[in-house]
Amino acid sequence: MVTGRAGRDIYDQILAGAPFERCPLCGRGIATTLDHQLPKSEYPILAITPANLVPACNTCNQKKSSKDPAEASEMLLHPYFDELGTSRWLGARIHEESPARAEYFVKPGDDWNATFSDRVVRHFKFFGLSRQYALAAAGKLATDRLQHAGLLRRTGPDELRLHLREAAEGYWATAGNTWEGALCNALAESDWYVNGGMNAI
């Protein structure tokens, strides 16, 4: 790492590049450190190359550690250079039970090749994003339950569905594929939920 005031300024500038201060590797944690995309133990010449330094939360940084991919399909996503396109690749489905829960999964984009699809799925599994997002969704389902039940009583299922779809669009327009947006979309698609399923949460 570059030392001294100049090095600290560069470090802080890269860290400040994280959208909404969130870790771009998981989308949930606060970016408080920089991760070497390619481990400095294997690629020391890239140790201070800005393009190899990625804002990350402590959990993702420690999880990633110094693991080096053996082949292209094992490379984790680089938030600077890997373009996921405009497709909504993060999906969720609602398990209509008591308590309800959300399950997250990757829906490969139409313009992704097989290798890139494998990389996105690997990244998703490596950082345990399905579980992370499901846990976060459980909290949101619990806190939104009363609001959604009230909307259902006052306006009916069609208006509740519209509200959820508009919420999903808001997340999409602001930050692209997020667990919140995928959750709102999945709830809007669930006839069980918009007809009172939130009361079983």
Of residues 8 and 54, more confidently modeled: 54
| Amino acid, res. 191 | D
pLDDT at 66: 62
CA distance 42 to 65: 12
- Dihedral of CA 150/156/161/166: which sign? negative
**Strand blocks (E) in 50-189:** 53-56, 90-95, 101-106
pLDDT band with cut points at 50, 70 and 90 for residue 1: very low
Q: Tell whether the model's pLDDT for residue 101 goes beyond 70.
A: yes
Q: Tell whether the model's pLDDT for residue 7 goes beyond 70.
A: no
pLDDT at 46: 54
Residues 179 and 28 sit within 8 Å (Cβ to Cβ): yes
34 bridge partner residues: 55
How many CB atoms are closer than 10 A to CB 143?
A: 9
Contacts of 134 (CB under 8 A, 6+ apart): 101, 102, 103, 104
> Residue 104's closest CA among 31, 182, 45?
182
Global pTM reads 0.83
> Residue 150's closest CA among 168, 163, 169?
163
Q: Tell whether the model's pLDDT for residue 18 goes beyond 90.
A: no
